[in-house]
Structure 1
Amino acid sequence: MNIAVSILYSLAVLSLLLFGYYYLGYRSQKKEWKLKVKEWYPEEQRKSMISKLGDQFDERESSKALRNKLQSANVKLLPSEYIAALLVGGMTVFVFFYTIFSMPVAISLLLSVLLMLATNYLLFYIRKNNYEIRFNEQLGEVCRILGNAARSGMTINQGIEIVAREVSAPAGIEFKQISNELKLGVPLETALRSVQKRNKSRDFNLFIATLLIQKKTGGNLARTLETMGETFEERKVLSQTIKTMTAEQKYISFIIPVMPVFLLLVMNNVIDGFIEPLWSGFGVIILIAFVGAIILSFILIRKITDIRV
């Protein structure tokens, strides 16, 4: 009798241990499946009304041009976020002019609108093709990786896949798209031309021409890419040297327009009615000449310091 009880007790303990083991395994497997399901079918997070309106604005065809300009300027903002930033900046400047410098409401509003328009123009003027410039600065590294891949016996497609994994944005993103298109059976020339539509620089055109010519005619691709990579690196160093030498002049191009306007507003805050003569007949002429001189000085200094390699 005691033996039967012992056997039953042992079987009960063993069953409990087996149940615990399989239950823990089931919990772990269930957790893994939940993670996979969330990865495959991500849950849509609840958004506010403002976020939904922003998404609708970004999906419009009219915002496509602004999205391309932001990408070209390497501004990592959506069109709706950029417009919202301009509006918030304009309201802040309006409050700044109206409360601190005690300017009339109409003039504060007009200056705020003009300043935001000038900021929008200057942003895209100064950072024009910034995305393209950053992309070109990475071409030396791209040539080095492709050259090493060719030297080790890999094909151009395999080398492009390595570039897509190893190089950071923006070149890594563009070459990842090229790699995906090549995997889908798109010809190499077609994939490269699609990127060329977004980057029409001289350096990238030379890079594309070299790859296509070497693929058609053959030759020492590794040596060609190595030489081209050294050329790109030397040009990058020269560009950085020029930027360093002209940095002071570029900052002066911002200081010269800002300082007179700031002093004028400070004097108006200290002396009541200091800028009122500017709104008279002769004062308007002086104001127009003053603004024109500021804009001209900014453009001339930027043109002089814009040295292309």
Structure 2
Amino acid sequence: MLSPEIVQLAAIALAALSVGGIVYVLVMPYLSDERKVSKRVATVAQGQTRARTRIGVPQPLQMRRKQVQDTIRDIEAKQKAKKRISLRTKLMRAGINIRPRVYYMLCAATGLLGGFIVLATGSSPLISLLAAIACGFGLPRWYVSRRLKLRQAKFLTEFANAIDIIVRGIKSGLPLTDCLQVIASETPEPVRSEFVDLVEQQKVGVPLSRAFERMSDRMPLQEVNFFAIVVAIQAQTGGNLAEALSNLSQVLRDRYRLQAKVKSFSAEAKASAMIIGALPPLVMGIVYVTSPDYISLLWTEKLGQMMLAAGAAWMLLGILVMRKMINFDY
């Protein structure tokens, strides 16, 4: 049998290794040369593009490109300036038509109900208070974020078809406003409601660029930003709007297809990560149910608490690594 001192030293060493591993995973990308290399490559590519523009591109095309770049820069600056999002905006994005006051009342009612249910099961007042806080703050926020993701996913599935309606209408001779009214009356939700708001704003005299900007605020997606940028550039510089929107529709379909392919390729890795991450607490719960005296030493003894903390640190490190491996940028 090993002495308690040796076991304690081993636990301390294990905790130190876990902390060092976490620091390595979080800090190493900033200390490595990969960021410097990528920045240098981007700088060289930008310099070559500028030189090529100065040498071989006609002057009118340079002016048009400069106008496009200025428009995109202005839109990005406006989006970066809007960092804080109000509760009313969050509810509007999630498609929940209630006032913030009603939302806070529902949060309070949910918290009181959750705390009362936990207290009625015989738990301590502290645990009931924690349950009330979790039900009052965490559960409503999770529901709103869940509704927001589902609504955005439904919007993306129909947004490319809405752009195709605009393309076909413009090619047949209809103005842009009539095409927007067709989308507002015939497309399914949530695309229909967003374009209904767009058409109603136009009827009261809101400029088209401002209406599209508000639409991107209500539906904060890159695809909507692309659409707003294309329409804003066409309004300022002119050009073939049908061709630009047709190319945008193809890009959106390619992005959606790539997203589905990435999800299918990473589904097995995500399932494996979920199983591996849930296995230790699941086994711990089963052991606690079958023999609580055997496993209770982990939180009753000082050495067990250190081992439990080290195990939790290793679990956190593993989850971060698996999350980094299965999340793809596309």
- The TM-score normalised by the length of structure 1 is 0.62
Alpha-carbon displacement from aligned partner over 1:66-118 (angstroms, at most 9, x marks no partner)? 565566577899845567667767777x59xx89xxxx858976996898788
Q: 1:268 maps to which residue?
A: 288
2:293 maps to a residue whose letter is G
Give me the CA root mean square deviation. 3.9
Contact preservation (8 Å) 2:151, 2:190? yes
> Separation in 1 of the partners of 2:302 and 2:288?
19
Contact preservation (8 Å) 2:94, 2:148? yes
Unmatched 5+ stretches in structure 2: 1-84
TM-fit CA distance, 1:198: 3.4
> Separation in 1 of the partners of 2:111 and 2:278?
19
Label 1:270 to 1:68 Cα distance change in 2 as closer, same or farther (>3 A): farther
Match of 2:168 among 148, 153, 156: 148
1:173 maps to a residue whose letter is S
Contact preservation (8 Å) 2:115, 2:132? yes
Per mean C-alpha deviation after superposition, the further-off stretch among 244-253 and 68-77 is: 68-77
Q: 1:288 maps to which residue?
A: 309
User: Which of the pair has more CA radius of gyration?
Assistant: 1
Runs of 4+ off more than 4 Å? 64-78, 80-92, 104-134
Q: 1:34 maps to which residue?
A: none
Contact preservation (8 Å) 2:93, 2:219? no
The alignment partner of 1:138 has SS state of helix
Match of 1:297 among 318, 326, 329: 318
Per mean C-alpha deviation after superposition, the further-off stretch among 231-240 and 279-288 is: 279-288
Alpha-carbon displacement from aligned partner over 1:198-234 (angstroms, at most 9, x marks no partner)? 3444332221121122234433322221221111111
Q: 2:253 maps to which residue?
A: 233
Contact preservation (8 Å) 1:74, 1:130? no
Label 1:137 to 1:307 Cα distance change in 2 as closer, same or farther (>3 A): farther
1:208 maps to a residue whose letter is A
The alignment partner of 2:274 has SS state of helix
TM-fit CA distance, 1:278: 1.6
TM-fit CA distance, 1:237: 0.8
Q: Does 1:177 align with 2:197?
A: yes
Label 1:206 to 1:150 Cα distance change in 2 as closer, same or farther (>3 A): same
Q: 1:161 maps to which residue?
A: 181
> Separation in 2 of the partners of 1:290 and 1:128?
35
Contact preservation (8 Å) 2:111, 2:134? no
TM-fit CA distance, 1:188: 0.5
Identity %: 24
Label 1:110 to 1:296 Cα distance change in 2 as closer, same or farther (>3 A): farther
> Separation in 1 of the partners of 2:175 and 2:129?
60
Listed as ranges, the matches of 1:76-225 within 5 Å are 79=103, 131-225=151-245
TM-fit CA distance, 1:243: 0.7
Label 1:249 to 1:66 Cα distance change in 2 as closer, same or farther (>3 A): farther
Label 1:90 to 1:234 Cα distance change in 2 as closer, same or farther (>3 A): farther
Q: Which has the higher contact order (CA 8 A, sep 6+)?
A: 2
Per mean C-alpha deviation after superposition, the further-off stretch among 112-121 and 128-137 is: 112-121
Alpha-carbon displacement from aligned partner over 1:176-195 (angstroms, at most 9, x marks no partner)? 11111111121111111112
Q: 1:38 maps to which residue?
A: none
Alpha-carbon displacement from aligned partner over 1:48-68 (angstroms, at most 9, x marks no partner)? xxxxxxxxxxxxxxxx95565
Label 1:141 to 1:119 Cα distance change in 2 as closer, same or farther (>3 A): same
Q: Does 1:256 align with 2:308?
A: no
TM-fit CA distance, 1:287: 2.0
Contact preservation (8 Å) 2:111, 2:133? no
2:238 maps to a residue whose letter is G
1:306 maps to a residue whose letter is N
Unmatched 5+ stretches in structure 1: 1-63
Label 1:303 to 1:277 Cα distance change in 2 as closer, same or farther (>3 A): same
The alignment partner of 1:273 has SS state of helix
Label 1:297 to 1:122 Cα distance change in 2 as closer, same or farther (>3 A): farther
Contact preservation (8 Å) 2:184, 2:192? yes
> Separation in 2 of the partners of 1:65 and 1:156?
32
